[in-house]
Amino acid sequence: MAIADLPLADTLARPLRDLRISVTDRCQFRCTYCMPRDVFGRDFAFLPREQLLTFEELARLARVFAGLGVRKLRLTGGEPLLRRDLEKLVAMLAGIGGIGDIALTTNGALLAGKAQALAAAGLHRVTVSLDSLDDTVFMALNDAGFPVARVLDAIAAAADAGLAPVKVNMVVRRGVNEQSILPMAAHFRHSGYVLRFIEYMDVGTTNGWRLDDVVSAAEIISLIGRQWPLQPAEPAYHGEVARRWRYRDGGGEIGVIASVTQPFCRGCTRARLSADGNLYTCLFGVAGHDLRGPLRTGSSDQALREQIGSIWTRRTDRYSEQRTRQTGRKQQVKPKVEMSRIGG
Ligand code: SAM
C-alpha cells in the first residue's frame, strides 16, 4: 500500500493535521525574546531571496501535505507580511482541496493595508501579536519604536475584513510585561477578540531564556480570575494548544498556551516548514529535513509524499515534556533552530 493510502501517524500515534509555513526569516521588529538586536543586527545574514521557497513551490508542497492529512495551514515567519503579494500565495493555498482553514500570524505592522486583500484571497483568520498596551513597555519589547495604537488599528481592520475571530497573542515575560496582563485582559474583555497568553519559551538559543522568566499559565489565570471570575471552557477541537477560559460574567474568553508548565506534545499534530524549505517536526527542533533540494531537482509529487510520510512516521519529538522533566538539572539541551527561521 502506498504511504498516501495509510492513515499517517507518528511513533506516538499522532496524525499530521497542521502545517505552519514560514514565508520569510525577516522581521521589522526586534522583539527581545525572539530576535534580539544584538544578534539580529545590521550584519545578520538573512536568507538570500533565491533560497526562499517560491509561492509555486510552497503551494505545491502544501498540496502534498494536504494529501497526507493536513487540514490547517498557518502562514508565519519572521513577519509574513514582509513577503510581497502574500495574498497571491493565500489564493493559491485556498484552491487546495482538503484545506479547511488558512490563518496568519503577524505583528500587525502591515496588516491594516492588507486585511481586505487577504480576506478576499481566501484567508480565514489572523492572530496578531501584542505584548502590552503601554507604549513604553511595548516599544522596549519590540525594539523598533512601533506604537501600540497601530497594532490596535490593525486588529480592528482585520475584524472589519471578516478575519474573525481575531486572536491576540501576548508573550509574558517576568519583570518585563507581567504588569500588562490585567490591562490587556480589561481591554479585550467584551471586545469579541480572543486574547491568548503565551508562556515565554526557550525557543532557539539567542534569547537567554531562564525558567525564572516564565510567568506560568496558572499564575496568569489566577491573577485574572481574582479580578474577573473565570471558568474553564472545552477545547474547540482535538489537539488545541491553548487552554480556554470563559469570563463568568459573559465578557468573552481568553486562552493560555502553557508549553513550558503544561506541555502538550502528546496532542501535537503540527509540522513546520522553514522559509528555505526545511521540514521541522517540532518547534524545538535541532535539524530540519531538506525539501527544497528534492523540489528543485525534479522530485515527483509521489516522491515528495513518500519522503514527508516517512519523516512523519518516524517522528518521536516531545521536547517540551522532556524539558519540563529536565528543568532544574544542570543539563544543557542541544542547539535549537531560531523561531524566526521556522515560524512561531
Ligand atoms: N512576526 C509574526 C508575529 O509577530 O506574530 C509571526 C512570527 S512570531 C515568531 C510568532 C509568535 O511567536 C508571536 O506571537 C511571538 O510573540 C511568539 N514568540 C516568539 N518568541 C517567543 C518565545 N520565546 N516564547 C513564546 N512566544 C514567542
Ligand 1 and 203: CB distance under 6 A: yes
Q: How confident is the model at residue 239 (pLDDT cuts 50, 70, 90)?
A: confident
* Sign of torsion over alpha carbons 119, 279, 309, 306: positive
Please say if the pLDDT value at position 1 is more than 50.
no
Q: Indicate the pTM of the whole model.
A: 0.94
What is the reported pLDDT for 325?
65
What is the reported pLDDT for 327?
57
What is the reported pLDDT for 79?
98
The atom number, within ligand 1, closest to the CA of 204 reads: 23
Top-confidence residue, 51 or 238 = 51
Q: How confident is the model at residue 324 (pLDDT cuts 50, 70, 90)?
A: low
Ligand 1 and 269: CB distance under 6 A: no
Please say if the pLDDT value at position 331 is more than 50.
no
Specify the 3-state DSSP secondary structure of 168. Answer: strand
What is the reported pLDDT for 336?
75
| Whether the Cβ atoms of residue 133 and residue 184 lie closer than 8 Å to each other | yes
Q: Whose CA is nearest to atom 9 of ligand 1?
A: 344
Please say if the pLDDT value at position 267 is more than 70.
yes
Q: Whose CA is nearest to atom 20 of ligand 1?
A: 34
Mean pLDDT lowest among 15-19, 109-113, 236-240, 265-269: 236-240
CA distances from 130 to 154, 165, 167, 184, 194 (A): 11, 16, 10, 9, 12
> What's the CA-to-centroid distance between 220 and ligand 1, angstroms?
18
What is the reported pLDDT for 154?
98
> What's the CA-to-centroid distance between 225 and ligand 1, angstroms?
25
Please say if the pLDDT value at position 198 is more than 90.
yes
Residue 256: CA count within 13 A, CB half-sphere: 27
> What's the CA-to-centroid distance between 105 and ligand 1, angstroms?
8
C-alpha cell at 199: 508562556
Q: Whose CA is nearest to atom 17 of ligand 1?
A: 344
Mean pLDDT lowest among 74-83, 277-286, 321-330: 321-330
Quick one: CA torsion of 23, 24, 30, 34, rounded to 10 degrees? 60
Q: Whose CA is nearest to atom 21 of ligand 1?
A: 34
Please say if the pLDDT value at position 338 is more than 50.
yes
Q: What is the mean pLDDT of residues 172-186?
A: 97
Rg (C-alpha) for the chain, rounded Å, is 19
**Of 240, 86, 99, which is closest to residue 167 (Cα–Cα)?**
240
Round the average pLDDT of the chain to a whole number and report it.
93
Classify residue 246 by its DSSP letter. Answer: E
Rounded to 5°, angle at Cα 26 from 207 and 198: 45
| Whether the Cβ atoms of residue 102 and residue 75 lie closer than 8 Å to each other | yes
What is the reported pLDDT for 326?
60
Pairing relation of β-strands 278-280 and 289-290?
A: antiparallel
* Sign of torsion over alpha carbons 219, 222, 226, 230: positive
Q: Which residue type does 323 have?
A: R
Ligand 1 and 64: CB distance under 6 A: no
Interatomic CA distance for residues 4 and 6, integer angstroms: 6
What is the reported pLDDT for 330?
44
Interatomic CA distance for residues 133 and 112, integer angstroms: 18
What is the reported pLDDT for 305?
98
What is the reported pLDDT for 161?
98
- Within 95-190, residue ranges assigned H as helices are 115-121, 135-142, 148-160, 181-188
| Whether the Cβ atoms of residue 99 and residue 62 lie closer than 8 Å to each other | yes
What is the reported pLDDT for 321?
83
The atom number, within ligand 1, closest to the CA of 169 reads: 14
What is the reported pLDDT for 97?
97
| Whether the Cβ atoms of residue 260 and residue 221 lie closer than 8 Å to each other | no
Residue whose CB lies within 8 A of the most ligand 1 atoms, among 32, 34, 126, 174, for a mutation test: 34
Per cent of the chain over pLDDT 70 is 95
> What's the CA-to-centroid distance between 279 and ligand 1, angstroms?
19
Residue whose CB lies within 8 A of the most ligand 1 atoms, among 155, 339, 341, for a mutation test: 339
